[in-house]
C-alpha cells in the first residue's frame, strides 16, 4: 500500500493549544478556551467573507465608527460575530472594539481576560477581492473578578499582553498568534472545518528589501521618513503596499520588510490605533525577532491614555526599522530637536 495515500494532515489548532497550556501556570484552561472562541468566530467570518458577493454584504453600511471612518457592512457583521463568540465563551469580562465607541461589558463578571479587537481590518478592500484581516490582543484583568472590567483593565501597556494574533482572509485563511513563546501560524482547511499548524515557529528575516507605506502621503511624512523612503529607492528596494494592514504585515513578517504609517499633516498622531492594532502586531513581530516602534519609542512601552488612541508605527525586520529610526534621529540632530 502506498503510504502517501494516507499522509497525516497535521496538528490542529485545538490540539496545539492543549499542548501549550503548561506554558501558563496562572491559567487553568480559560486562555486556551478563549483562543478557541476567537478561532470559532474567525471561521464564521471567513464563511461570510467567502460568500459576500452573493449575499449583498459588500459596500458601506451607512454609519461612521468612532474613528470617523465609514463602516462597511462586513465591519458590522464581523463585530457582531466576535462579540457574540467572546460573550458566549464566558472567559472575557470586557471587550474593546474598533467599531464601538465605549467598552463592551460582557456580563461575565468572573471572566479573567480583556480582549481588544479590530474585527475586520481593511474591510473596504472586500469589494475588490483583496485580502483583509482581524487583529486581536488579550490581557489579564487587573481588577478583582466578580464585577465589570475597569478602564484600568483596558488601558494596559502592550508589555502586559498575554496573547495576540491576527487572522488573514485571503487565498487561504490563516490564524497567526503568539502567547510570548514564539509565533505560530495555522491554515484553515474548510472541508474539515479546522485550522492546522502550517507555519511553526515563525521567524522574520533580520533584514529585507521591501518597504510598505502609502507614498501618496509622502509630501506630508516627517523629513526623516521621506529621507528613508528615498534611501529605499536608491537601494532598489521593492515598494509593496496593499492598503490592508494585516496583509502588508503578514507579507513582511514572512519575507522580510518594513511597514510604515508615520504621522502626516492629516493624522499628526498617526492613524493606526495603539491598543487593538499596534500593540498586537508589535507583540507578534518582537516574538518573531523583529521590531516595532513609533520611530523613537518601543510601541509596547507606550502607556495608553484612551481607548482609541492613535500612534505612528514602524514595524518589521529589525535592521530596516533601525535604519528608519536612524534617519529620523539624524534630522532631529540637525535641527537641534530633542525627542520627548
- As annotated, the binding site for Mg(2+) includes 98, 118, 120-121, 277
Q: Is 95 left (phi over 0), alpha (psi -120 to 50) or beta?
A: beta
**Cα gap 277→273, rounded to integer Å:** 5
Tell me the HSE value of 96 on the side-chain side, using a 13 A CA sphere. 29
Known binding-site residues equal: 98, 118, 120-124, 214, 241, 271, 277
Label the pairing between strands 113-121 and 92-97: parallel
Coil, strand, or helix at residue 5?
Answer: helix
CB 307 within 8 A of CB 102: yes
Coil, strand, or helix at residue 83?
Answer: helix
Which triple of cell numbers denotes residue 187?
Answer: 491554515
Known binding-site residues for substrate equal: 121-124, 214, 241, 271
Label the pairing between strands 92-97 and 104-105: antiparallel
Label the pairing between strands 104-105 and 210-212: unpaired
**In terms of C-beta density within 10 A (0-12 exposed, 13-18 middle, 19 or more buried), how is residue 52 classed?**
buried
For residue 79, give the nearest of 128, 44, 124, 114 by alpha carbon: 44
**Cα gap 27→22, rounded to integer Å:** 9
For residue 173, give the nearest of 194, 193, 184, 187 by alpha carbon: 187
Which triple of cell numbers denotes residue 160?
Answer: 502586559
Beta strands in the chain (DSSP E): 60-64, 70-72, 92-97, 104-105, 113-121, 132-140, 161-169, 173-178, 183-189, 194-199, 210-212, 238-239, 258-261, 291-293, 313-316
Which triple of cell numbers denotes residue 243?
Answer: 492598503
**In terms of C-beta density within 10 A (0-12 exposed, 13-18 middle, 19 or more buried), how is residue 265 classed?**
exposed
In the block, cell 474593546 appears at 96
Amino acid at each position: 500500500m502506498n503510504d502517501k495515500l494516507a499522509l497525516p494532515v497535521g496538528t490542529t489548532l485545538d490540539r496545539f493549544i492543549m499542548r501549550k497550556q503548561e506554558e501558563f501556570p496562572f491559567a487553568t484552561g480559560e486562555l486556551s478556551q478563549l483562543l478557541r472562541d476567537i478561532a470559532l468566530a474567525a471561521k464564521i467570518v471567513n464563511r461570510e467573507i467567502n460568500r459576500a458577493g452573493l449575499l449583498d454584504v459588500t459596500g458601506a453600511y451607512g454609519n461612521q465608527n468612532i474613528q470617523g471612518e465609514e463602516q462597511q457592512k462586513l465591519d458590522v457583521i464581523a463585530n457582531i460575530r466576535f462579540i457574540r463568540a467572546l460573550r458566549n465563551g464566558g472567559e472575557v469580562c470586557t471587550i474593546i472594539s474598533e467599531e464601538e465607541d465605549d467598552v463592551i461589558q460582557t456580563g461575565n463578571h468572573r471572566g479573567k481576560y480583556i480582549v481588544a479587537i479590530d474585527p475586520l481590518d481593511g474591510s473596504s478592500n472586500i469589494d475588490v477581492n483583496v485580502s483583509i484581516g482581524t487583529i486581536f490582543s488579550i490581557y489579564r484583568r487587573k481588577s478583582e473578578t466578580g464585577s465589570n472590567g475597569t478602564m484600568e483593565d483596558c488601558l494596559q501597556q502592550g508589555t502586559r499582553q498575554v496573547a495576540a494574533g491576527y487572522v488573514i482572509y485571503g487565498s487561504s485563511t490563516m490564524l497567526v498568534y503568539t502567547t510570548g513563546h514564539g509565533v505560530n501560524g495555522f491554515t484553515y482547511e474548510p472541508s474539515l472545518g479546522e485550522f492546522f499548524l502550517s507555519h511553526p515557529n515563525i521567524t522574520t528575516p533580520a533584514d529585507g528589501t521591501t518597504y510598505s507605506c502609502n507614498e501618496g502621503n509622502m509630501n506630508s511624512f516627517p523629513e526623516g521618513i521621506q529621507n528613508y523612503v528615498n534611501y529605499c529607492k536608491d537601494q532598489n528596494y521593492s515598494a509593496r503596499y496593499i492598503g490592508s494592514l494585516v496583509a502588508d504585515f503578514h507579507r513582511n513578517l514572512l519575507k522580510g520588510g518594513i511597514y510604515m504609517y508615520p504621522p502626516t499633516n492629516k493624522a499628526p498622531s498617526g492613524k493606526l490605533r495603539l491598543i487593538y492594532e499596534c500593540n498586537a502586531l508589535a507583540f507578534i513581530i518582537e516574538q518573531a525577532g523583529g521590531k516595532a516602534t513609533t520611530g523613537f519609542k518601543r510601541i509596547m512601552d507606550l502607556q495608553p491614555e484612551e481607548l482609541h488612541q492613535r500612534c505612528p508605527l514602524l514595524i518589521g525586520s529589525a535592521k530596516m526599522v533601525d535604519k528608519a529610526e536612524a534617519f529620523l534621529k539624524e534630522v532631529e540632530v540637525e535641527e537641534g530637536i530633542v525627542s520627548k
